[in-house]
Amino acid sequence: MVHIWNDPSEVPADFGPTVVTFGNFDGVHRGHQQVLSQLVRIGRLNHARAVAITFDPHPAQVHRPESAPELIMGLEDKLVALGELGLDSVLVLKYSLELAGLTPEEFVADILIGSLKASHVVIGHDARFGRGNSGDLATMQELGRKLGFEVLVISEFGSEGFPLHDEKLHNAVHDDGGTDRRCSSTWVREALRSGDVATAAAVLGRPHRMRGEVVHGAARGRDLGFPTANLAFTASGYIPADGIYAGWLVDQAGTRWPAAISVGSNPTFDGVSRQVEAHVIDRPAEDADAFDLYGQTVVVEFVTRLRGMVAYRGPEALVEQMRLDVVQAHDLLVAHRGRH
């Protein structure tokens, strides 16, 4: 079981030695997974504990909140994803101007060495840290010599797991959206922004998900024969482009239900605010009316986009299209479940 700490003071005094890396890890995509899997392996080889440091909130939300990227996942889901990778511990540092003001040496000496007793620090070629991002790989290597820890450099990975810094692959690597493109949180956001949840899932290594409480909506879906679980506006996770998706709803008990998911503002009814609502397809027939998710915190997973959002000429046309959407979603999810 992974230990979660929310402050360096929570780290036991006798904890260590450790192998440490740090980053935002938004999405915990396949590139992150490659690095963290190597961190775990290095820890095992050196009889040390594998620790990842992440930040909350995202540094951009502190330094430039007006242009900070929308997060792919909330902290809870990030910690779940990190915990699945075999790490011994995750330290969540509260990101603030005070933390940002630490010099590279203070960050390393106080947190990596003082709190975590790091024997190895794992970073990428382009890592930046410390006040004004003044620390880089050379800085870390110098601090390693000074403070007595080893620095291990991990290559970035493309979508197929190829190290981008491998000279044999240098000419084959490109950044135009092909299969050799570097896995990144930016790529995931681009895919979600266009509704391409399949590509997002390929980069993430799992379907993109949102998490939130089910709240009461306008009840139009129920009136039309397609009741939906409406996520609260406070739900975490990047909202994909408007449209209809096939996916899954995971209820509070952990049961996974196939679902047709709507993202948008209900243009047929002149809606304004964007909503995420999921219609569970295989509702239990014997107690369908009692199938109640209100108040539950659920996870909605997006597998594939069926179509964009369209304003139909009246409820009848919309209901007919919804019937088609549900059948298509069901067939796609049956096939998807058979492959996984």
45, 174 Cβ separation under 8 angstroms: no
Q: Is 153 exposed, middle or buried (0-12, 13-18, 19+ CB in 10 A)?
A: middle
Beta-carbon count within 10 A of 6 CB: 12
pTM of the model: 0.87
What is the model's pLDDT at position 171? Answer: 37
What is the model's pLDDT at position 177? Answer: 44
Q: Taking Cα atoms as reference points, which of 186, 236, 217, 198 lies closest to residue 279?
A: 217
Three-state helix/strand/coil letters over the chain: CCEEECCHHHCCCCCCCEEEEECCCCCCCHHHHHHHHHHHHHHHHCCCEEEEEEEECCHHHHHCCCCCCCCCCCHHHHHHHHHCCCCCEEEEEECCHHHHCCCHHHHHHHHHHHHCCEEEEEEECCCCECHHHCECHHHHHHHHHHHCCEEEEECCEECCCCECCCHHHHHHCCCCCCCCCECCHHHHHHHHHCCCHHHHHHHHCCCEEEEEEEECCCCHHHHCCCCCEEECCCCECCCCCCEEEEEEEECCCCCEEEEEEEEECCHHHCCCCCEEEEEECCCCHHHHHHCCCCCCEEEEEEEEEEECCCCCCCHHHHHHHHHHHHHHHHHHHHHHHHHC
What is the model's pLDDT at position 320? Answer: 85
- The answer to whether the bond into 17 is cis (omega within 30° of 0) is yes
> pLDDT tens, position by position, for the chain (340 residues)?
899 999 999 999 999 899 999 999 999 999 999 999 999 999 999 999 999 999 999 999 999 999 999 999 999 999 999 999 999 999 999 999 999 999 999 999 999 999 999 999 999 888 999 999 999 999 999 999 999 999 999 865 554 444 444 333 333 334 444 456 788 999 999 999 999 999 999 999 999 999 999 998 765 555 566 888 999 999 999 999 999 999 999 999 999 999 999 999 765 445 557 899 999 997 765 555 557 899 999 999 999 999 998 877 767 788 888 899 999 999 999 887 766 6
